[in-house]
Structure 1
Amino acid sequence: MSATVDATIFSSYFGNCPVVKVEGRTFPVKTFYLEDIYEMLDYHLASDSSAAIKNTSTKMSKNARLRNIVKSSRGRQNLVQYGWDDDEVVDEEAINPHFDELLYQSYSVTTKNSLRKLNEDVIDFDLLEELIIYIDKTGEKGAILVFLPGMGDILSLINRLVLLEHFRGALSDWILPLHSSVSTSEQHKVFQVPPSGVRKVGN
């Protein structure tokens, strides 16, 4: 049930039945932005990461492509790629169109370079792995909850985490999917308390 539902509408629909209100608890929330996470982890977004922006040339005739390749600053290197019969030639100057260096003057060069080449439309699972391990090692007691767009992304993260040395053995049994398509028995495990020394990771 949504926390923002208008209970009076449902009450009136069911003949003005009584509404029971249970007081909840609020918890302090501390916000970390992506650049803060990069700094905290000393994270470097690799050029070959799936989350790194890739700007490729459009397909064109071989002669036209060859002329453009030779004129480019990476002419020789791109010629090698061309010789391997690649359909597209990678543009080294691809950058995140939303990146504004003036907003990140107080951040490290590594962080700025990572933000510069970040594709904001792609989930960086490498970063999620590092962040979850960091929280597990340094964070206070409690579970880790990861919000992801869909079941495919949830399973991708779970499959990656259970292969890590950090989550071997009993720890991997507490990396749990949270989705409406998950069976009732699996959903019940989310509410169980893990053994001492084991952190629950739900996503």
Structure 2
Amino acid sequence: MAGSMMELPFSHAGFLEVFAAFNSRFLPLLIFLWAVTAFVFLRLHSGGSQLSRWVVLLLVVHWGWAGVAYHWLYFAQINPAAPLFGALFLLQAGLLAWYGLFKRQLVFVPAAHGWSAIGWLFILSGLAYPFITPVAGMEYPLLPVFGIPCPTTLITIGALLMVPREQVRPVAVIPIIWAVIGGSAVFLFRVWPDLMLFAAAILLAVYSLDVRRFARSIRSLGK
């Protein structure tokens, strides 16, 4: 772990100071984004799949905001890779908009069982993120709150687990990639809530690839 820390272009303190600056400037907006996010998913839970376009629009805002406001405006000050990360987030926002708003292929089915139930756990984890980080030993403002990549990814993966498998594949790759990248903060900076990202990445990969069907196909070839 020490070797990995030495290879980073920024320190632990610098990483946390980015959050402090981000929170100090945007906290009212972050609280508003959290409230809107909670409201939309509460309505999805009670209102069903007819709210799919609103969920997609919300996710587009999350990915666009995290890409520009966090990666480009703040994280880029200490990390040369941040502009690339920001572009990746804007690409995901574009994919969600294309498949969800224009082609209308992302339909969320919020059933309280199976994959959807797992999805709700990740959505709740993302909404609980600003309350978990202080409990995990971090102190405001030097901690991740909301409107940043990791809770955005948790909420997105949770929502995508409610989308039929064939529809979710085009928009699943980038959340899986970022879940792995963002999850590294657990080992590098002791951001323990990001442990959920690894589980989210694995489960979305299993879901979108339909691993059990793939395994059955492989077995059938050997017969």
Identify the TM-score tier after normalising by the shorter chain: under 0.3
Larger radius of gyration: 1
TM-score by length of 1: 0.26
Q: Which has the higher contact order (CA 8 A, sep 6+)?
A: 2
TM-score by length of 2: 0.24
